[in-house]
């Protein structure tokens, strides 16, 4: 059995003597479209882990560079992420952006969870929370996660944030014959769409930067809180041993 101490550290934060589960850990309970197929296609568990680590590393690098740029610095840019960063810089030129903070820890005492938001700021006159993603598209769970940050942020601060956005930064190569898209974030190429039998001819790498704003904040938060209940239920055996979890009594059934 995995020690409770390890599970606590892995899925939450200790804040002023209390333990709060992390937003990203809770959101893992939500099924990701396509992930099972992807996992099944990776050969072995080891190969999958290795690839996933590389993709995560690529995303982390983009995150770091983008956050530095948002803080007004111009860091060294690795050639691997250049098209993505160029697309982001182009996007920045077209919008009025004021950054108030990055990597900010927020905690909801009301709902007992904690998390770290990417960017707090004002975009084109609206104050909100920006979450950076480097995935090949924007999924519903990205909004659910960010809704949780908004709720926690607004619980504590009097100057409220009114919205949230997902900023997706990505890059790919398109086949000029069949339109397939190739991404090489993990070292090995991942090809999607297009035709299988095509003798692909790849165009040069294209960067993408797209912003999507929340469309239904209440629904996203409700979904998060439901996911949290489900997460508590499926982790109840060890959660019941976490003495400093403030939500302890609420999820325990008789
Ligand atoms: Zn092709």
pTM score: 0.88
The Cα 134–Cα 193 span in angstroms is 18
pLDDT tens by residue, 28-39? 998 776 666 667
**DSSP tag of 248:** H
Residue 127 · residue 159 · CB < 8 Å: yes
Calculate how far, in angstroms, residue 93's C-alpha sits from the geometric centre of ligand 1.
Answer: 33
Q: What is the dihedral of CA 92, 93, 95, 99, to 10 degrees?
A: 50
Calculate how far, in angstroms, residue 24's C-alpha sits from the geometric centre of ligand 1.
Answer: 36
Residue 92 · residue 143 · CB < 8 Å: no
The Cα 96–Cα 93 span in angstroms is 8
Q: What is the dihedral of CA 65, 33, 107, 167, to 10 degrees?
A: 30
Calculate how far, in angstroms, residue 189's C-alpha sits from the geometric centre of ligand 1.
Answer: 14
Report residue 48's pLDDT band, with 50, 70 and 90 as the boundaries: confident
Calculate how far, in angstroms, residue 186's C-alpha sits from the geometric centre of ligand 1.
Answer: 20
Q: CA angle, corner 243, sides to 237 and 245, nearest 5?
A: 85
pLDDT tens by residue, 99-117? 999 999 999 999 999 999 9
Calculate how far, in angstroms, residue 178's C-alpha sits from the geometric centre of ligand 1.
Answer: 4
Calculate how far, in angstroms, residue 30's C-alpha sits from the geometric centre of ligand 1.
Answer: 33
Range of the domain at 95: 4-251
In terms of average pLDDT, the best of 85-89, 155-159, 242-246 is 85-89
Report residue 188's pLDDT band, with 50, 70 and 90 as the boundaries: confident
CATH number, domain at 245?
Answer: 3.90.320
Calculate how far, in angstroms, residue 193's C-alpha sits from the geometric centre of ligand 1.
Answer: 9
Calculate how far, in angstroms, residue 190's C-alpha sits from the geometric centre of ligand 1.
Answer: 13
Backbone angles phi, psi at 134, to 5 degrees: -120, 25
**DSSP tag of 31:** P
Calculate how far, in angstroms, residue 41's C-alpha sits from the geometric centre of ligand 1.
Answer: 20
Calculate how far, in angstroms, residue 90's C-alpha sits from the geometric centre of ligand 1.
Answer: 28
Which two structure tokens, joined as six digits, stand for 120?
């707090």
Helix (H, G, I), strand (E, B) or coil at 106: strand
When divided into structural domains, the chain yields a total of: 1
């Amino acid at each position: 059995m995995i020690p409770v101490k390890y599970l606590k550290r892995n899925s939450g934060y200790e804040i002023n003597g209390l333990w709060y589960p992390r937003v990203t850990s809770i959101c893992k309970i939500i099924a990701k479209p396509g992930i099972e197929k992807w996992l099944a296609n990776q050969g072995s568990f080891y190969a999958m882990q290795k690839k996933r680590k590389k993709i995560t590393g690529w995303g982390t690098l983009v995150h770091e560079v983008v956050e530095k740029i948002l803080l007004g610095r111009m860091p060294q840019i690795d050639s691997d992420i250049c098209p993505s960063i160029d697309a982001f810089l182009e996007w920045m030129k077209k919008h009025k952006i004021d950054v108030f903070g990055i990597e900010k820890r927020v905690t909801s005492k009301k709902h007992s969870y904690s998390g770290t938001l990417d960017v707090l700021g004002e975009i084109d006159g609206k104050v909100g929370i920006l979450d950076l993603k480097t995935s090949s598209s924007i999924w519903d769970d990205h909004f659910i996660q960010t809704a949780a940050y908004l709720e926690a942020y607004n619980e504590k601060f009097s100057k409220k944030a009114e919205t949230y956005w997902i900023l997706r930064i990505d890059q790919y190569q398109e086949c000029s014959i069949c339109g397939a898209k190739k991404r090489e974030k993990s070292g090995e190429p991942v090809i999607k769409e297009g035709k299988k039998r095509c003798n692909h001819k790849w165009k040069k790498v294209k960067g993408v930067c797209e912003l999507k704003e929340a469309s239904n904040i209440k629904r996203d938060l409700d979904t998060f809180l439901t996911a949290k209940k489900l997460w508590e239920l499926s982790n109840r055996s060890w959660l019941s041993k976490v003495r400093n979890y403030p939500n302890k009594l609420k999820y325990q059934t008789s």
